[in-house]
Chains A and B, each alone.
Chain A
Amino acid sequence: GNSVTQMEGPVTLSEEAFLTINCTYTATGYPSLFWYVQYPGEGLQLLLKATKADDKGSNKGFEATYRKETTSFHLEKGSVQVSDSAVYFCALRIQGAQKLVFGQGTRLTINP
């Protein structure tokens, strides 16, 4: 089946630290990969996406590269800010399917 596994949270970092949130997937077919961010009390916002192997998605200083050989899509940011505190979800969608398959989410807290 199709599944997404994210690194266990919560993750706590100091401002300006380097961030990595690991995400690996299992999929039949060729998935598109996404990172969504959810701020407290809000819906999910699409942070970045990649639709084929070796694509790099980027937005707001965050990056993730679609690695087919390691079935991974790790989220990185070089210098985090307090405002990046949120829950981050990795997700995939198989071509031809309507559903998103989510990871369990990783709660990130950035301390000043």
Chain B
Amino acid sequence: DAMVIQNPRYQVTQFGKPVTLSCSQTLNHNVMYWYQQKSSQAPKLLFHYYDKDFNNEADTPDNFQSRRPNTSFCFLDIRSPGLGDAAMYLCATSGTGRYEQYFGPGTRLTVT
């Protein structure tokens, strides 16, 4: 089945130690998103790629970066995680002409 895959499902990192979360998709969608979600609140969009074009949300901290080396993969880099960055990170995709987004299972990040 075509899907959105996130690895790892659970990630523990130390305060200030860089961490990378990964997302891959087999849907061949051109748009990929990264969301942060805390405590079953609504997901908060961090940024998205439309093809290779990067679109950052105005309130996304500089500590968060992203890379999309090809259509299938997208990475979220947190340069210096703080305790407040502990959350579920969700990747989603959307295809041309389609309004719905398809979400991966998420990576739960713990910062110690």
Contact = CB atoms under 8 A, between A and B. Distances in A.
Interface string B68-112: 000000000000000000000010101000011111111010000
Contacts of A95: 99
Interface in B28-49: 31, 33, 40-43, 45, 48
A98 B43 contact: no
Contact of A44 (B48, B90, B108): B90
Contacts of B42: 89, 102-105
Q: Is the interface of B mostly helix, strand, loop or mixed?
A: strand
A34 B101 CA distance: 10
Contact of A99 (B40, B45, B108): B45
Contacts of A105: 40-42
A43 interface: yes
Interface string A70-112: 0000000000000000010100010100111011110100000
Majority DSSP secondary structure for residues of A touching B = strand
Contacts, number: 54
A38 B48 contact: no
Interface string A1-41: 00000000000000000000000000000001010101001
Contact size class for A? Answer: 20 to 34
Nearest to A97: B99
B104 A98 contact: no
A42 B99 contact: no
A102 B50 contact: no
Interface of B: 4, 6, 31, 33, 40-43, 45, 48, 50, 55, 90, 92, 94, 99-106, 108
